[in-house]
Structure 1
């Protein structure tokens, strides 16, 4: 799945039932308590945004690696699912 893109995630995440407020795919300015995929100076950043801080920051060289990791994070965190 290393060819996964942000555009793919825009389709996959709602289809899998993730709550829209549990993630951001295009930066985290103003994001609070959600997973973020952002373009940083060293590459694509994946982190958990909480109180304006970047927690558990990981940086990836390729979009595929970043998007795959991002999707895995969301799938492992049951709090990211829509309440039914």
Structure 2
């Protein structure tokens, strides 16, 4: 049987990983949190591009990790425009 290539980034995802995808924009970002299977753990939500918005995101990550018994977090965002460089 032929062995398939597995992207090293994907191999970091395990059953105890929270995946946080962020669609970045100038004023507001959309956030989606899923488990390793891609199942939403919370409805997608919007955060402001402010310190308070980031603090809210940190708090939601902490709450979901605790509720779901997850130990790892992977944050991902599409490198669109220049926003992802910050």
TM-score (norm 2): 0.39
Q: Greater CA radius of gyration, 1 or 2? A: 2
**Higher helix content, 1 or 2:** 1
TM-score (norm 1): 0.39
